[in-house]
Structure 1
Amino acid sequence: MGHAEPENELGLLYLQDALARMQGVRELGEAALRQLLPEHWHATLTEGENSVAILVQHLSGNMHSRWEHLLEADGESGSRDRDAEFKDAGLTPEQLWNCWNAGWEVFLGVLTRLQPADLTRSLTIRGEMHTVLEAIQRQVAHYSGHVYQLVFLARHWLGADWQTLSIARGQSREFNRQMEERRRR
């Protein structure tokens, strides 16, 4: 068996990394969502701003629109009502979880199926040409930004009850020690 072409190896590494990073972003968001009380989902810092519910609605709508028919149609599906995503639909936390999961399943499912050769294929998003690689990068930044907004809101609403999703303040040395210990095993 011969060696894979360098660009295929690089493309495969990129796809694997994008998938792993976006799975991590999903897990980060879920760790924040699991901490919310029912009243936190729809709360906003000021009138007219996004709530956690609105962020979930928007992420799911975008994921369905951009990824359900990748390469077959414009990345802005005709059935999408983007403006409605930014109006609180009054969904229950359970309905919002279903919305969240459905969107991520579409997006991550497509990332799982893409092949290195797909990265240079062309597609359109709102009539603008992109390669698949550019579309992935666009969404990695977009989805990460909204998930971090969601984390910020969850942390704000929970206050002192917030359970950190990262290394706790003042615990960096201990974390590094534990990582070194694991590496030695």
Structure 2
Amino acid sequence: MKAVAELYLSDVRERMAEVRRLGDRALSQLDDAGWHRSLAGGGNSAAVLVQHLSGNMHARWGGLRGGYRPDYEGEPASRDRDSEFEESGLAPAELQARWDDGWAVFLDTLDHLTPEDLTRTLTIRGEPHTVLSAVQRQVAHYSGHVYQLVLIVKTLRGDQWQTLSIPRGQSVAYITQMHAAQAAALPDSDEQR
């Protein structure tokens, strides 16, 4: 079972680093004003989502950066969640710093969790969770908000949007290129004899 837990931790680290890079690439396409635009009245801007993600990452994982601690509460009384959803007017550089710092907290915590930690307990708003379920909860939460960021930025950029995946109409060319790269990486069959 330990091997499965190690595989899970390795995979979740890799997947969440990919989610973060996806957000990085979307946010890099915003101009200064774009950070604070929402798509509809009452909607979240990229700035608000960044503030919320950073606040959540600090609350949930800040006390576990060096490893698991028994009786950890992932929603400290010092957190002001509601303020995370208020437009702060922060400059893009400040928002980028919050984004980077929040992700550093979460990814550093993942780096310090052990397979044995996954079955241990922590609480969030007083509700007990295994570390595994707390991580899974946040994987879904963070991924959802990053995809919201992508939608916001893509909509705001319109024709200037630079795709974050395979461009439309390029799937066959992409797969062909991948297969060619894989074939080139294989050892020559004559050399194996």
TM range (shorter): over 0.9
Q: In percent, how many aligned pairs have the same letter?
A: 55
* 2:14 is equivalent to residue 20 of structure 1: yes
The equivalent position to 1:40 in structure 2, one of 31, 34, 37, is 34
Deviation at 1:17, TM superposition (A): 0.3
1:109-165 deviation line (CA, Å, top 9, x unaligned):
000111101100011011111100000100000000000000000000100000000
Cα distance in 2 for partners of 1:46, 1:182 equals 44
TM-score of the pair, normalised by structure 2: 0.91
Residue matched to 1:150: 149
1:165 paired to 2:164: yes
How many angstroms apart in 1 are the aligned matches of 2:12 and 2:18?
10
Runs of 4+ in 1 over 2 A off after TM superposition: 70-73
For 1:124, what is the secondary structure of its paired residue? strand
* Structure 2 stretches lacking a partner, 5+ long: 185-193
Which residue of 2 is the match for residue 3 of structure 1? Answer: none
CA RMSD for the aligned pairs? Answer: 0.8
1:24-76 CA distances to partner (integer Å, 9 max, x unpaired)?
Answer: 00000000001111110000112211000000000000000000113453110
Residue deviations 1:79-110, cap 9 Å, x none?
10000000011100000000000100000000
TM-score by length of 1: 0.95
Which has more radius of gyration?
2
In the TM superposition, what are the counterparts of 1:68-83 in structure 2 within 5 Å?
68-70=62-64, 71=69, 72-83=71-82
Query: Which residue does the alignment assign to 2:109?
Result: 110
Deviation at 1:183, TM superposition (A): 1.2
Give the aligned residue type for 1:38: D
> Is residue 93 of structure 1 aligned with residue 87 of structure 2?
no
Q: Secondary structure at the residue paired with 1:130?
A: strand
Q: One-letter code of the match for 1:145?
A: G
Distance 2:60 2:110 in 1: 12
Count of aligned positions:
179
The SS at the match of 2:63 is coil
